[in-house]
Structure 1
């Protein structure tokens, strides 16, 4: 047992002092991919897809709690548990490969988003902006070790506050139509493009790397303890942590879509973040537009750091190998810089990356619900039947949506 764990066990702190890991995980839910998917959805279809974000956030609360609970109860991360459960090295390698692909898609969105923000704020070329975001994230990752976990969490929470202010200001200046917002809560789609957007929004909201990572975050923060009383205390704190953090992230996501539906709907050129920024400036003024860009920059820097943290946890758990975090950061930023250098349209790259994330969700969700429902593994803390059925329903809907997305993608490629 670590010294930190012993200290926490001997003096049970107030619940508020145990909060933090979910706020780090929540950064994954407000990354630049969310901005692209939600702005595109609101600008093109108004309030139509608000229900997707609300449903996705409810699913996210459930899944993140299950991931954190696995770490608290068993003292093992989800990737470690998978690494032990999967048969054979080849199977572990294949599973790791798809998880790393998901992490790469995440990194693509985050660096591109930060680069766009620097271009909007300072006129920097996208490749240079991407490089700056990568370097700044390296500096931030230097605080992401077990001895300075609280420091890392504090920085991330500060960046989350910047994101919230940057993305909510527009709604204060131009409040939404309440009737339209309520109408957007009725589940429906309109054509194949809304399916792609819904999958992108789902992938941007329920993020696989955050599911893998949360079990690692709680262990790094709280240590490992087998005392049932201590576990109950941590699980109670974890519920508050997840609900509060993801309520904030969910509010930001809905605000982005509603901002676009309220201020950008029907405007030409709003199918890109740069166009949306210009439209925001035109409709709401340069101050709101600048705050929007600052929020986007904070989102890119924070989320790319969290993504690298998640990638390290995935590799360590599945392959039992660990490479220095800064080396990983240097390697994983290369694909995003290549995309920026060859001139791929950045907003479309963001939307597509979020669809790729959606394809990776079942690989994290299905094993997770199996592990947390297993009394042999979880003991008295195994999932209750409402959580089991709720996570099963989420898995079925996500897999079905992914199958439709794949079919539409293949059909579009052949036509």
Structure 2
């Protein structure tokens, strides 16, 4: 079978954003190799969940939001589900969008240096670019350009990880699940930056359009495994590079220039430009996909069949998420803190969205032969339980409750 790359590449491009660079760098710098297991788990979990989303789009020709509405008969339960999904995406994507814009701004600040424009001006320029592309851009061309920018950053970290020569024994010990003191929220952030809840909606919607019925289920699965697997590998390389070059170094991280310092011994003075371009490209990619995914799901759950009205709802939703992201990103919160908060929010929201997906994927009337197998249900259930446990532990630690 000829391998065809499809929506899986879009999903990978969406989660290899500035949040990934920041969360993985912070994890490596603060905890060394101890949290590599979290990225391995997150990558496998992402493949499991995104495969379900792709099968929903290909097998049932439905988006996740649309499937939830069609398969909830009780009016009160349907309304509650719609409100919960809307709230989850509104909260998660607003925080995530702010992190995306902040990450893109960090990248440009690293390139332009201290003599460049003020951060707020850079943020507004990025938002205008994203807004223009959301309204008028040709998505296929846009996708190719932005994925190309992310691949440049990916290649940089692959080279960096090889040259800094990580400690293999410590790397191997990091594959054993454990959470170091103070590392709970970082572990949740690593999972949240990889298993992005909105990608489940985005993948189902785009797979419905990209792949043909039934016969392309295997093609969609291969695309998911390859694309998400490579994305997870990039995340591991970023953490490994930071662990090998920054752990116990005492370097503080508050800007893209600080992130670049972790690989400056490898790339020299050009590191800030390399990381800056990568962060800007990744930030712009994610700044577009987050509003797109929210627009898809709101359009799917909105009670109307009028195509013109759906288009208006789609545009209004996408631009609203972008605007909220701009407002949050213009606050006095540190950009690095904002990105980490966004990833943590995603990690806490994930069990809710994944539980919805599991229920839908067991509807034989909807998917027929493409429903979940027992093995898939067990794997998906374990993902929900583990992410729920981590989320509850993070909330408890935030309120100083020891669990």
TM-score (norm 2): 0.89
Number of aligned residues: 388
Q: What residue number does 1:395 align with? A: 384
Picking from 119, 122, 126, the partner of 1:133 is: 126
RMSD in angstroms over aligned alpha carbons? 2.3
**Does the Cα contact within 8 Å between 2:101 and 2:283 map onto a contact in 1?**
yes
Q: CA shift at 1:385, angstroms?
A: 1.4
Q: CA shift at 1:39, angstroms?
A: 0.7
**Does the residue aligned with 2:83 lie in a helix, a strand or coil?**
helix
> Could you tell which deviates more after superposition, 115-124 or 281-290?
281-290
Q: CA shift at 1:279, angstroms?
A: 4.2
The reply to whether residue 28 of structure 1 matches residue 4 of structure 2 is no
Matches within 5 A, 1:348-363: 348-363=337-352
Runs (5+) with no aligned partner, structure 2:
304-309
**Does the Cα contact within 8 Å between 1:20 and 1:153 map onto a contact in 2?**
no
**Does the residue aligned with 1:400 lie in a helix, a strand or coil?**
helix
**Does the residue aligned with 2:183 lie in a helix, a strand or coil?**
helix
**Does the residue aligned with 2:94 lie in a helix, a strand or coil?**
helix
> Could you tell which deviates more after superposition, 195-204 or 321-330?
321-330
Q: CA shift at 1:19, angstroms?
A: 2.2
Over residues 228-247 of structure 1, what are the superposed CA-to-partner deviations in whole Å (9 max), with x where a residue is unaligned?
xxx1x311111111111112
Distance 1:340 1:100, change over 3 A: closer
Q: What residue number does 1:285 align with? A: 268
Distance 2:368 2:27 in 1: 43
Distance 2:58 2:296 in 1: 16
Q: CA shift at 1:359, angstroms?
A: 1.4
Distance 1:218 1:314, change over 3 A: same
The reply to whether residue 210 of structure 1 matches residue 199 of structure 2 is yes
**Does the residue aligned with 1:185 lie in a helix, a strand or coil?**
coil
> Could you tell which deviates more after superposition, 61-70 or 132-141?
132-141
Matches within 5 A, 1:209-248: 209-222=198-211, 225=213, 231=214, 233-248=215-230
**Does the residue aligned with 1:333 lie in a helix, a strand or coil?**
helix
**Does the Cα contact within 8 Å between 2:291 and 2:319 map onto a contact in 1?**
no
**Does the Cα contact within 8 Å between 1:38 and 1:201 map onto a contact in 2?**
yes
Q: What residue number does 2:306 align with? A: none
Picking from 58, 79, 87, the partner of 2:44 is: 58
**Does the Cα contact within 8 Å between 1:263 and 1:283 map onto a contact in 2?**
no
Runs (5+) with no aligned partner, structure 1:
1-13, 226-230
**Does the Cα contact within 8 Å between 2:92 and 2:345 map onto a contact in 1?**
yes
Q: What residue number does 1:5 align with? A: none
The reply to whether residue 75 of structure 1 matches residue 64 of structure 2 is no
The reply to whether residue 196 of structure 1 matches residue 185 of structure 2 is yes
The reply to whether residue 276 of structure 1 matches residue 259 of structure 2 is yes
Over residues 12-51 of structure 1, what are the superposed CA-to-partner deviations in whole Å (9 max), with x where a residue is unaligned?
xx643x4211111112221111112111110011000001
Distance 1:322 1:79, change over 3 A: farther
**Does the Cα contact within 8 Å between 2:53 and 2:357 map onto a contact in 1?**
yes
Distance 1:44 1:98 in 2: 30
Distance 1:125 1:248, change over 3 A: farther
Q: CA shift at 1:326, angstroms?
A: 5.3
Over residues 73-106 of structure 1, what are the superposed CA-to-partner deviations in whole Å (9 max), with x where a residue is unaligned?
1111001111233443641224312222111122
The reply to whether residue 176 of structure 1 matches residue 162 of structure 2 is no
TM-score (norm 1): 0.87
Distance 1:97 1:322 in 2: 21
The reply to whether residue 164 of structure 1 matches residue 154 of structure 2 is yes
**Does the Cα contact within 8 Å between 1:143 and 1:151 map onto a contact in 2?**
no
Distance 1:102 1:240, change over 3 A: same
Q: What residue number does 1:345 align with? A: 334
Q: CA shift at 1:143, angstroms?
A: 6.5
Matches within 5 A, 1:310-389: 310-320=293-303, 321-323=310-312, 327-389=316-378
